[in-house]
Each structure stands twice: as structure tokens, then as C-alpha cells.
Structure 1
Amino acid sequence: MNVLIVRTSSMGDLIHTWPAITELKTHYPNIRLSWLAEDSFADIARLHPQVDEVLTLSWRRWRKGLWKPEVWRELGALRRKLRESSFDLVLDSQGLIKSALPSRWACAPLAGLDWKSARESLASLFYDKKHAVSRKLSAIERNRRLFGLSFGYAPEGEPRFGVRQGARPAWMLSGRYAVLLHATSRASKEWPEAHWVALGEELSSRHDMVTVLPWGNEREKARAERLAGLLPAAVVAPKMNLIEAAGLLGHASAVIGVDTGLAHLANALNVPLVAIYTDTDPQQTGVVETPWATNLGHIGQCPTVGAVLAALKTRRDWT
């Protein structure tokens, strides 16, 4: 059976699809899985070993230049590729117009969420088979339920991401290190810089850890450099792709991060993780709590440095 999964963005949404894919392949190991994702997040799809092929679109770029002939040529090429792939089933697990439309281009039976379950109800009008999944569930459980309903099984047990850590970055010297994920999509979700400095000082002085500060844009790079200048043993990470970021996170002795996709990636790799929430509900957007990972904070709450350290010390593999 040749199946296309459509989950185009963003990073956390793609990571939250991994457990559903792991479970699907446990039930049907002979299914050939393709995944359609936004090109900037395609490496997340590629990280799952059960995905046979990753197809990409560039909607974020295309929508800014719909009057350009080259954009329409790229759209046409994707449409032909989807049609010629002869999928037996397409599953749109995102439930948005921007995911439902290319899903229909595959000219195959199309499954997705029903009117009340989809994030954009109009997307359900594109689907041949519609499934009801409660919007009160976490993103991971919504995906697992949708996959189970689409393929005829009931999800069981704890979610398993099914991915492996990559290679330790060549630029990272030997020894123990903690990754501080200070960057997030909006200012209201940030943790105070003074807290990051106090945390880094504690990790360095009491636990002999180098702190590593990743970044994704120039504003985040400036903050990483500013924080590194205040810490006793800190490294500003070079610009990384998502495969390289997975290698950095997978070999870390600890990861502390705000509400960001990389925290979910660390969650999938089973490293000691504390995820910090100040403006979102961790019941909806938090990491999956495991012996390695926990959530702290809530809307309008800002966890203290002491609370973060205390939570970190209770995580499995913390030394």
C-alpha cells in the first residue's frame, strides 16, 4: 500500500506526527510511506526511519509571489509529481486549507478530520473520509487517533517517537554540555535573560557543564552572544540545519528550553529535558512528560531558576 501523509508545518506539528507514524508501521510494516512537508521542515520528516520518501512544497515562499511564472511552474511540477505517484490513500493530518488543497492534487482517496475536528473546518470539505477527533486532546493524541481511525486500529500505550539521535557535532568538544533553548516565536514566551545566566552559572559551577546556545535568526544570535558573554563556559552554536540540531540535542547531558520546536525534538530523543512555559498551556502544547522530560509553568506563570534545576535533577539519566 502506497500512502501519503500530509503535514506541512511547523516543526512541533511534524514532530507530534512521529508517534502516529511509528504506531502505524507497527500495525502495517509493509506500507510505503511518503510525507509532504514544507521544504524548511523537510528534515524533520526525514529524521523518522519509517518514512520512505519526503516530498516538499514551498507555500510560504509561493504565497508571496503568486504572480510569478516560476511559482506556477513549481506548483505544476508538484501537482504532477503527486498525481503520478499513484497513492492508494492520502491522509491530511493537519486539517488546514493549505494542507487539504495539495492533498487533493494526488487524485487518491483522501482522509482527514471532520468539520468539528479540523483546525479549519472548511478543510474537511476536501476529504472523502472524515473522522471525529476531540480538539481537547493533545496534538500527539489527536494524530494517533486520526491515524488509527483511518487505518482501522486503536492506539495503545504510551507514544513512541521512533527516531534516533544523529551524530555528535564535530565542532562540539568532548565532555558534558547542556543546551539552552532560549529562542522562541514571540517575546511573551521567552524566559528572562537573567534566569538563563543564573541557570548557566549553576550548571557550570556545580555540574561542570558547558552551556550551548543555538539560534535561528540574527536577533536570536545577538541574544545568544550576549548570554554567552555573561556565562563562565558557554558556546554559541553555529548556524545548523535540523539534522545537525538533532545531533546536538541527542548527545546533550541536559536540555532546558522555552516553548519551541527544538524542545519537542529533544523530547523525542529522550534526553533530560525541562520545558518552560510562560504564555501557553503545556497541556495543549507541552512536551510529552516522560522519565526524561517535564513541563514547568503555564499562561502567566514564569518558573524560577530553582524550580527548573529541581525538575532537571529528577530526570532520568541526569548525573
Structure 2
Amino acid sequence: MNRVLLVRSSAIGDVVFASPFAAAIKRTWPQAYVAWLVEPGIHELLAADPCIDELILWPKGEWKQLWQARRFAALFQRIRAFRALLRAKRFDVAIDMQSLLKSGLLTWLSGAPRRIGLGSREGSQWLMTECVPKGGIPGRIGAEYRALAERLGLEAGEFLPRLCIGEATEARVQALMTVHGLRPSRFAVFAPFTTRAQKHWFEDAWQALAAKVRDELGLTPVILGGPADREAAARLAAATAGTIALAGDTRLPEAAGLIRHAGLLVGVDTGLTHMGAAFATPTVALFGSTRPYLDTGRANGRVIWLGLACSPCRRRPTCNGAFTCLREITAERVIEQARAVLGVANRS
């Protein structure tokens, strides 16, 4: 593998899971040139990784707008230009880690003579020269990506999420912490938000947890999220004195930097929660309708999943909005697990 293209354009959590792949390539072939094709915005998570030589941004938003406006000629021109850009880089191998038709098309556009698909579906398998079924240790974080690395003969190592923080990002994080009076390891990050209601813990539960984290653990609760989560974060913060709402006030790299400095991370099945394993931050993950993993790979990481008969239901809830799989997770149980992870020395 001399010139390698990795295709995992979204979503944040899956990019975090796949993040050790470039390092595995470099350990095996130090002289390899590794490029990663990713959507704008998410690319910021990978920008500081020295094992990635180039980030190629897929202008998905622009293509989508042209399609919706029925400007098909302009869209075709953009696709041709993107194909020319990819093929000019003369990749030897392109690896589709996303498995979908859209990622398969991007992999095919690269013109790489060897195109490897991980569990390819939706027709993307016909665009690959070889397909590797998804595998790995059941329930372990990033298992399918680690299994792919091993299948390709890479030195996978521990294969835990890998995120790097650049100097400029660290400076912004330090400034943000100073403004809000936050000290390293003396605050707890909450990651309550996702795009799917069935993955959310309940507001009253977060409020109860915030008070316990403040009073029993002596940590300042800090709520992270995106711009769309500002109102909900402000509502949560207003319910518990001393809680700081930063949802929408950080970009992904700064959010990652805060998680690196946090004394505790508690979150639902969302990209921010999965970052805890990258920094060995004591983490408690709350899963209900989904169960991406049960083994965080870290001694100071815990997953709470009740294992109800209806769970995981993923995108097809059968509870008519009761979301019992999360409702029955109590703040007391989370605090119990938080105490457990805080008692484990596992910082890298």
C-alpha cells in the first residue's frame, strides 16, 4: 500500500470508531501516503492527526443543493471535477469503511485499481474489487474496523479511538476554560444530545445527575452539543446551579479538547461520548435503543445498557415514546458507575 484513500465521510461517532485506521497503516507501512475522504466540519476531528497526510473534503452539501434544484448538468460537472481531483492523486488502494452506495461511489470515483469495501451493501459491493464482511469481537468499540485492519494485514495494536488536538485548538480550549473558571479534571462533561429522540436520556434525569455530580463528586457539570441544542442545554443548566451550558459554543475540536481535560464524561450514544475512549477520560455511556458497544476498551469506561427484550430497536421503537430502556436508568445508577470509573487510574 503506497497511496491509500480511506473513505468514511460521516457520521461523527463512526469517524471516531474508525480513527485508529490511519495509524495502523503507518505502523505497517511507514512510507505510505494516507488520505481520508470526509465531509466538511467532521474533517476537523482528523486535521491534527500526523498519520493522515491529506484530508479530502467531499462537498456533499453543494451536490445535494444542485440535486434539489434539479441543476443536473451543473451537478454532473462537479462530480466530474471531483473524480478528476481524486484520480490525479493516483491512489493504489481505496477502502470504503462506510459500506453504503454513496461511499461506494466515492471510492469508485477514485479510480484506485484495488477497491476494498467493508460489509458493502446497497449495491456498493458491485463497485468494489473485493469485499470484506464485517466482523470483530462482538460488543467491543470499533470492532469492525479493527477486524478489517487485521484482515488486511495491518498492525492494529490496541485499536482504540485516536484523536489529536492541535496547538491552536488547545490554546482555544484553555482560553474557554479560563473564561468559565474550569480546571482540568475538576469538571464533568455531559453529552445529552443526538438527532434521534429514542437515544435521549430524560431532562429530569440529567437535572438529578447534575446535582449529584456537583454535590457528591465535586465536579462542575458542563453541557456540550451543537447549535441546535442551545435551548435545551440552557434549560438543563438553569435547573441546577453551577452548571455551564456550552452547547453550540464550540467546534468539534474544542469539544474534543474539553473532553480530554474533563474529570468525567457522561453521555448517550453520540459522537462526543465515544471520544472519551480516545483520551482515556473516565466515561459512563448510556445506551437504550442502540448498543454500538458494551466494551469501551478502557478500564475507566463503563456502559449502562439494561438489555430489555425490545432493545436495541434502533430506528424502530415499539414503546410508543415511553423509551423505557432509558427511563429506567436512574441518576443513582449513573453516579454509582461514575464513582467506579473515577476510581480507576487509566489516563494515557
TM-score between the two structures when normalised by the length of structure 2: 0.81
Find the aligned partners of 2:61 and 2:136 in 1 and give their Cα distance: 26
How far 1:208 sits from its partner (Å)? 2.4
Matches within 5 A, 1:118-133: 118=120, 120-133=121-134
How far 1:130 sits from its partner (Å)? 2.5
Cα pair 1:183 1:260 within 8 Å, conserved: yes
Aligned to 2:102: 98
Quote the RMSD (CA, aligned, Å).
Answer: 2.3
| 1:217 matched to 2:235 | no
Task: Provide, for residues 118-156 of structure 1, a one-character-per-residue CA deviation record: whole Å limited to 9, x for no partner.
Answer: 2x2511111112223338845722112223333x3474x
Cα pair 1:274 1:294 within 8 Å, conserved: yes
Task: Provide, for residues 295-316 of structure 1, a one-character-per-residue CA deviation record: whole Å limited to 9, x for no partner.
Answer: 1024352321111111111113
AA partner of residue 158 (structure 2): E
Cα pair 1:22 1:160 within 8 Å, conserved: no
Aligned to 1:163: 163
Aligned to 1:149: 151
The verdict on how the C-alpha distance between 1:223 and 1:35 changes in structure 2, with shifts beyond 3 A counting, is same
How far 1:38 sits from its partner (Å)? 1.3
| 1:88 matched to 2:96 | no
Find the aligned partners of 1:136 and 1:208 in 2 and give their Cα distance: 37
Q: Identify the range of structure 1 (134-143 vs 242-251) with the bigger mean alpha-carbon deviation.
A: 134-143
| 1:297 matched to 2:323 | no
Q: Identify the range of structure 1 (140-149 vs 46-55) with the bigger mean alpha-carbon deviation.
A: 140-149
1:233 paired residue among 231, 242, 245:
242
SS in 2 for 1:55: strand
Q: What percent identity do the matched residue pairs reach?
A: 26
Task: Provide, for residues 180-218 of structure 1, a one-character-per-residue CA deviation record: whole Å limited to 9, x for no partner.
Answer: 111112111111111111111111122322111122133
Task: Provide, for residues 246-289 of structure 1, a one-character-per-residue CA deviation record: whole Å limited to 9, x for no partner.
Answer: 11111111110011011112221110110001211243xx5724
Matches within 5 A, 1:175-186: 175=183, 176-186=186-196
Matches within 5 A, 1:1-319: 1-66=2-67, 67-68=70-71, 71-113=75-117, 117-118=119-120, 120-134=121-135, 137=138, 140-150=142-152, 152-153=153-154, 155=156, 158-165=158-165, 167=170, 168-172=173-177, 173-175=181-183, 176-218=186-228, 220-237=229-246, 238-283=248-293, 288-298=296-306, 299=311, 300-302=324-326, 303-315=329-341, 316-317=344-345
Task: Provide, for residues 58-86 of structure 1, a one-character-per-residue CA deviation record: whole Å limited to 9, x for no partner.
Answer: 22442242233654444333222101111
Cα pair 1:104 1:110 within 8 Å, conserved: no
Number of aligned pairs?
A: 310
Please, which runs of 5 or more residues in structure 2 have no aligned partner? Answer: 312-323
Task: Provide, for residues 76-116 of structure 1, a one-character-per-residue CA deviation record: whole Å limited to 9, x for no partner.
Answer: 332221011111211111111101111112211233237xx
Please, which runs of 5 or more residues in structure 1 have no aligned partner? Answer: none
